Amino acid sequence: MQNTTTPIPPSSQLATQHSHTPEAAPELVAFLATHPGPLAAADAIVRTTDGRMLIIDPPYKAGWDLPGGMNDDEDPEDGLLRELCEELGVTGVPLGRLLAVDTTPASVYGRPLITFIYQFTLPENVRTTDDLALQTDEIDGAALVADEEALARFPERLRRRVEAALAAEAGSYIAYLRDGRRTTPCR
C-alpha cells in the first residue's frame, strides 16, 4: 500500500508558502480602526453559592439590570471581569461559561449592540449585598433574589435575554439571540 498523504512542511517553511502572515497588514488595521462596527457589552448572571441571583438598580437605566457593562476596546471576558471589579469589588474569581449572545438591532440604540452573558459565582463569603463593595456612582441598589423575582424586575428586552440565558444555563448550549429572541439557523 502506497502512502498518498502529503507530508507537512516545518513551520518555518509554511510562512513562506502562504501569502498571508499571522500579523494583520497595516492597511487592514487602518481600515478596521475606522469601520463602524457594533458596540459590545458583557453581563453576568451572578449567583451566590446557594443559587440566588444578584441584580442591580443602575441610576441611568429604567428597571433592574445584570452586573456588567460596555466593553472598552477589550475582549468581552476582560471587560466583564473589569466591570465586576469596579461595580462589586469582586476580584480573583474566574468567569463561568458563556450562556448567551444577543444582538440588539441598530434601530434600538443607533448601532447594533452585541451582548455576551456569562455565568459567575460569587465567593462563598458573599452571603448578602453588604458583603460587596458596590460602586455607588453606578448602582443605586442591589438585591439577591430568586430567578423568578429577578425576571419580574427586569425590563422586557432584558427579561427575554435572561430567560434564554437561564435556559442555556440549565442546558448545555449557548443561546444565540436577536433582540432577546432565539434565532433560527437559516433564514
- What CATH code is assigned to 38-182? 3.90.79.10
What's the pLDDT at 185?
Answer: 60
Beta-sheet pairing, 68-70 with 39-47:
antiparallel
CA distance 112 to 91: 30
CA dihedral 119, 135, 111, 169 (to 10 degrees): 10
**pTM of the complete model:** 0.82
CA dihedral 165, 167, 168, 172 (to 10 degrees): 170
Of 159, 130, 135, residue with least CA distance to 147: 159
CA distance 51 to 119: 12
pLDDT tens digit sequence for 87-119:
999 999 999 999 999 999 999 988 899 999 999
pLDDT tens digit sequence for 40-84:
999 999 999 999 999 999 999 989 999 999 998 899 999 999 999
Q: How confident is the model at residue 28 (pLDDT cuts 50, 70, 90)?
A: confident
Q: What does the block give as the cell for 92?
A: 480573583
What's the pLDDT at 183?
Answer: 84
Percentage of the chain with pLDDT > 90?
Answer: 73
Is there a contact between 120 and 95 (Cβ–Cβ < 8 Å)? yes
Q: Residue ranges per domain, the chain?
A: 38-182
